[in-house]
Homo-oligomer: A and B are copies of this chain.
Amino acid sequence: MTAQLYCFGESGNAYKAALALTLAGADWQPVFVDFFNGETRGPAFRAINPMGEVPVLVEDGEVLTQSGMILDHIARKTGRFGGSTPAAQQEVWRWVLWDNHKLSGQAGTCRFLMNFLSAEKRPEGVIPFLQGRLKAAYTVLNDHLAQRDWIADTGPTIADFSCCGYLYYPEPFGFTRADWPHIDRWLGRIATLPGWKHPYDLMPGNPSDRA
Contacts and interface: CB of A to CB of B under 8 A. Distances in A.
A191 interface: no
Interface in A95-114: 96-98, 100-102, 104-105, 109
A76 to B, nearest CB: 11
B140 A50 contact: yes
B126 A97 contact: no
Q: Which of A66, A124, A140 has the most CB of B within 10 A?
A: A66
Given A105-B105, A126-B125, A129-B123, A69 B97 contact: yes
- 4 nearest A-B residue pairs (beta carbon): A125-B125, A124-B125, A100-B101, A123-B129
Given A90-B69, A124-B125, A125-B126, A140 B51 contact: yes
Given A98-B66, A100-B100, A101-B101, A144 B50 contact: yes
Interface in A46-60: 50-52
A50 B143 CA distance: 9
B52 A140 contact: yes
A160 interface: no
A153 interface: no
Given A123-B125, A125-B123, A97 B66 contact: yes
